[in-house]
Amino acid sequence: MSLLDVRDLRVSYGSADGDVHAVDGVSLSIEAGEFVGLAGESGCGKTTMAMAIPQLLPRNARITSGSVTFDGVDLSALDEHAMRAYRWKEISVVFQGALNALNPVQTIGSQIAEPIRVHDSSVTSAQADDRMRELLEAVGIPSRRAHDFPHQFSGGMRQRVMIAMALACRPRLVIADEPITALDVMTQAQIIDLLQSLSDRYNLAMLLISHDLSVLAQTCDRVAVMYAGKMAETGPSQDVFGESSGQVLARHPYTQRLLRAYPNIHRERVFIDGIPGSPPDLSKPQKGCRFQPRCDVALTQCANVAPELVALNDRHFAACHLLDADSSGVQ
Ligand code: SF4
């Protein structure tokens, strides 16, 4: 049994122009201790899918169908009171933008110790303080700085504080939503190294959301690529983002175009190639493949028939009519 099993999840946002179907039938599983990356353009449903797991969606969003099973329990069936037993203690979140997520008038030490005290009644204040100091040291911040305020830290250090907070109650799954966006390249590398070492040390499973494919390729065991609320391709990182004899191994045209839109420092220098057009308006009914208007290898049926996710091997899946002939449907 997987630690997390998201099945056929659908999430919609209510708006004045009608419902926006941001996540439309997405499935994803994560094993204990596994590092899974979630990629795709802005607005493809990555964050909505991830925030549906701990039920931290905005007020105008609702899960319309599907299930989110964590360690055998269907979280989507739980009410707000029951969900509190899972947030922080089982599943925690590293939000993007640490400056906005931290309380500017509270010391970082008290912000890390607070969830420990609130969510674990067996822990004394002294024990919570000890754990807070241990976490600060684990993320590379000297514990003597526990009494400092967020504005006294750099952006990278604040992100480390956010990671320490996420680990405060020893969760089994951490959802990291663009944890390195807006940081310089050196700090990005340090934060990624930190997440990997903490994952190994605490046997954490991690869902890492990023639009930066190089970060996901470098850090994740498995990756999933979303497009317009659907899963386009998922598989081991080396199968989805790797190359063989100079050819990319990605099988979905969208993943292939995403990879061409990123510079590769291991290859000769070429102009990066953007993807013309923009994703579809998800408040309108969708027909056929959602990538069809931007796909330069589209087939006749692509405009009318939505492709199913098919198995390319036992761990690599993609949803594209080009693959129908040599694969078997899985959904
Ligand atoms: Fe392109 Fe058709 Fe494949 Fe969609 S199903 S990615 S339009 S070839």
DSSP per residue, 72-127 = TEEGGG--HHHHTTTBTTTEEEE-S-HHHHS-TTS-HHHHHHHHHHHH-TTS-HHH
pLDDT (0 to 100) of residue 329: 46
Instruction: Count each helix (H run) and each strand (E run) in the chain, helices first.
Output: 10, 15
Give the tens place of pLDDT for each residue, 46-90.
999 999 999 999 999 999 999 999 999 999 889 999 999 999 999
Tell me which amino acid residue 56 is: L
The pLDDT confidence band at residue 304, using thresholds 50, 70 and 90, is very high
Q: What are phi and psi of 157, to 5 degrees?
A: -70, -40
pLDDT score of 330 more than 60: no
Written as six digits, the tokens of 167 are: 């680990």
Give the tens place of pLDDT for each residue, 247-280.
889 999 999 999 888 766 566 666 677 888 999 9
Mean model confidence pLDDT for the chain:
90
Tell me which amino acid residue 269 is: R
Higher pLDDT, residue 78 or 181? 78
Whole-angstrom distance, CA of residue 293 vs CA of residue 134:
52
Pocket of ligand 1 (CB under 6 A): 253-254, 289, 291-292, 295, 297-299, 302, 307, 320-322
* Residue whose CA lies nearest to ligand 1 atom number 1: 298
Give the tens place of pLDDT for each residue, 273-301.
788 899 999 999 899 999 999 999 999 99
Give the tens place of pLDDT for each residue, 4-51.
999 999 999 998 888 999 999 999 999 999 999 999 998 899 999 999
- How much of the chain exceeds pLDDT 90, in percent? 68
Dihedral of CA atoms 195, 201, 202, 208 in degrees, nearest 10, equals: 20
Q: At what angle do helices 125-138 and 108-119 cross, to 10 degrees?
A: 130
Whole-angstrom distance, CA of residue 288 vs CA of residue 304:
4
* Residue whose CA lies nearest to ligand 1 atom number 8: 298
pLDDT score of 316 more than 70: yes
Whole-angstrom distance, CA of residue 77 vs CA of residue 278:
35
The beta strand positions in the chain, using DSSP E, are 4-13, 20-30, 35-39, 61-70, 73-74, 91-94, 173-177, 205-209, 222-227, 230-236, 243-244, 247-248, 310-311, 317-318, 328-329
* Residue whose CA lies nearest to ligand 1 atom number 3: 320
Written as six digits, the tokens of 23 are: 């996540």
Pairing of strands 328-329, 317-318: unpaired
CA 3 – ligand 1 centroid, Å: 32
Written as six digits, the tokens of 108 are: 């970082």
The pLDDT confidence band at residue 218, using thresholds 50, 70 and 90, is confident
Distances (CA, A) of 235 to 6, 229, 313, 327: 16, 18, 9, 15
Dihedral of CA atoms 77, 80, 84, 85 in degrees, nearest 10, equals: -40
pLDDT score of 315 more than 90: yes
Measured from the Cα of 295, ligand 1's closest atom is 1
* Residue whose CA lies nearest to ligand 1 atom number 7: 292
**Mean pLDDT across 116-134:** 92
CA 281 – ligand 1 centroid, Å: 18
pLDDT (0 to 100) of residue 90: 95
Q: With contact defined as beta carbons under 8 Å apart, do 160 and 139 qualify?
A: yes
pLDDT score of 234 more than 50: yes
Whole-angstrom distance, CA of residue 18 vs CA of residue 13:
8
Measured from the Cα of 301, ligand 1's closest atom is 2
Measured from the Cα of 323, ligand 1's closest atom is 3
